[in-house]
Amino acid sequence: MARIDVPAGEGLEASRIWEAAPHLGEGLHAMSMAVYEKVSLPIREREAMRMRIAQLNRCHV
């Protein structure tokens, strides 16, 4: 469940959010590519870091 107001409509909340601001997807994609393709951390450490960030943000892992 999102913590922000999501526009009403059909489909998943995430899809409706991206429809409201599609230009943000380009930046997010670039950041994801940098994290996954140009990082020097081993994959296990990177995934542990992602899990900790999710925990701090109160996301279910």
> Is 30 part of a structural domain of the chain?
yes
DSSP 5-52: ----SSS-HHHHHHHH-THHHHHHHHHHHHHHHS--S-HHHHHHHHHH
Which structural domain range is residue 28 located in?
Answer: 13-56
Task: Convert the pLDDT of each residue in 3-42 to its tens digit.
Answer: 778 888 888 888 888 888 888 888 888 988 887 888 788 8
Looking at the domain assignment, is residue 39 inside a domain?
yes
In a domain, 7, yes or no: no
Q: Does residue 45 lie in a domain region?
A: yes
Query: Does the pLDDT at position 61 exceed 80?
Result: no
Q: Please check whether residue 5 lies inside any domain of the structure.
A: no
Domain-embedded: residue 34: yes
> Does residue 26 form part of some domain?
yes
Amino acid letter, 36 = Y
Residue 2 lies in a domain: no
